[in-house]
């Protein structure tokens, strides 16, 4: 019989904890662990009860190994949050995520929840309904780094049995603010719910799940992650009239309108201005 006076996990690490999504989980995951370990490059404010704070760069291997000791669940949100130079992507997202996975493996972490992104598949057209098994089609170097971690986590599961849920987050903001977000919007509450399902499901293996709310317009078929039991409760539809009133009708030939990645699919290469 489980001791129901105790939370189900001992220590949940949240990386990128100072960001908007990290702040959301800092509250909502509190009942699920005896201790929360929070990590970010930026200061995390006051240390609340049952929290540990680490201000560090994930590219610093020793720092990552230190903070992961005793952790049983990792929620990995840290890294560059949008397109950047390849060097920044390499350090923050590729090296940083490798350190997380290698430390998790060596320290016996049970499961990692990874904040992947729509930009891992941003070059599919909005009119294509895709599931989690389609070949990745990143729309940016940022998106390429997301596919890197998805594949790295697959490797850690196949070889070492370290479970992962990779959540391809659409647009996680307080509310949808353009017409594309009528499909991609993920409310903060639904994001929390999805993370909680991801840690509470008995067996997840290696799974990829799309993260958007219960929006009428949708690009994604989440049926392959049905065992997670994710049932979003919010909907971008509540903001439809407001979005229509505030945003222009797009041209369907514009890549930002045509592709799931939106503006990321339309932007020139980040380093164009720097080279040649």
User: Which residue's entry shows tokens 């932007």?
Assistant: 267
20 vs 65, which CB is nearer to a copy of itself?
65
Report 79-98 residues binding a copy of itself (CB under 8 A).
Answer: 86, 90, 94-95, 98
Considering the rule CB under 8 A, would residue 276 count as an interface residue with a copy of itself?
A: yes
CA distance 250 to 258: 9
142 assigned to active site: yes
50 vs 246, which CB is nearer to a copy of itself?
246
Considering the rule CB under 8 A, would residue 66 count as an interface residue with a copy of itself?
A: no
| Helices 96-107 & 141-160 angle (0-180, nearest 10) | 20
Site map 182..201 versus a copy of itself, x via CB under 8 A: xx-------------x--xx
Considering the rule CB under 8 A, would residue 257 count as an interface residue with a copy of itself?
A: yes
Considering the rule CB under 8 A, would residue 140 count as an interface residue with a copy of itself?
A: yes
Considering the rule CB under 8 A, would residue 138 count as an interface residue with a copy of itself?
A: yes
CA distance 13 to 74: 5
CA distance 69 to 243: 46
Report 102-131 residues binding a copy of itself (CB under 8 A).
Answer: 102, 105-106, 123, 125-127, 129
Question: HEC string of 45-80?
Answer: CCCCCCEEEEECCCCCHHHHHHHHCCCCEEEECCCC
Q: Distances in Å between the alpha carbon of 34 and those of 7, 51, 64, 230? A: 6, 9, 20, 24
Exactly one of 142, 156, 188, 239 is catalytic; name it: 142
For the CB of residue 227, give the shortest distance to a copy of itself in the complex, in Å. 5
Considering the rule CB under 8 A, would residue 274 count as an interface residue with a copy of itself?
A: no
50 vs 106, which CB is nearer to a copy of itself?
106
For the CB of residue 63, give the shortest distance to a copy of itself in the complex, in Å. 15
Considering the rule CB under 8 A, would residue 202 count as an interface residue with a copy of itself?
A: yes
CA distance 20 to 43: 13
**Which stretch of DSSP H or E encloses residue 210?**
strand 206-211
């Amino acid at each position: 019989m489980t001791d129901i006076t105790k939370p189900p996990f001992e220590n949940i690490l949240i990386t990128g904890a100072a960001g908007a999504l990290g702040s959301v989980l800092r509250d909502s995951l509190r009942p699920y662990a005896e201790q929360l370990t929070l990590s970010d490059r930026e200061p995390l404010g006051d240390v609340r009860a049952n929290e540990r704070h680490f201000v560090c760069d994930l590219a610093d291997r020793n720092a990552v190994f230190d903070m992961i000791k005793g952790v049983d669940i990792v929620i990995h949100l840290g890294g560059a949050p949008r397109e950047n130079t390849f060097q920044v992507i390499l350090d923050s997202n590729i090296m940083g995520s490798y350190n997380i996975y290698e430390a998790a493996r060596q320290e016996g972490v049970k499961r990692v929840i990874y904040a992947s992104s729509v930009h891992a598949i941003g070059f599919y057209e909005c009119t294509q309904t895709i599931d989690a098994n389609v070949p990745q089609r990143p729309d940016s170097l940022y998106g390429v780094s997301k596919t890197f971690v998805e594949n790295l986590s697959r490797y850690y599961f196949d070889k070492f049995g370290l479970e992962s849920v990779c959540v391809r987050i659409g647009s996680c903001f307080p509310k949808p603010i353009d017409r594309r977000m009528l499909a991609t919007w993920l409310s903060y509450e639904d994001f929390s719910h999805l993370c909680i399902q991801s840690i509470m499901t008995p067996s997840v293996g290696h799974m990829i799940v799309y993260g958007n709310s219960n929006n009428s317009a949708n690009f994604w078929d989440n049926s392959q992650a049905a065992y997670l039991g994710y049932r979003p409760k919010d909907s971008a539809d509540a903001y439809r009239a407001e979005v229509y009133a505030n945003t222009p009708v797009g041209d369907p030939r514009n890549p930002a309108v045509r592709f799931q990645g939106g503006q990321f699919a339309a932007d020139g290469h980040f380093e164009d201005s720097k080279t040649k």
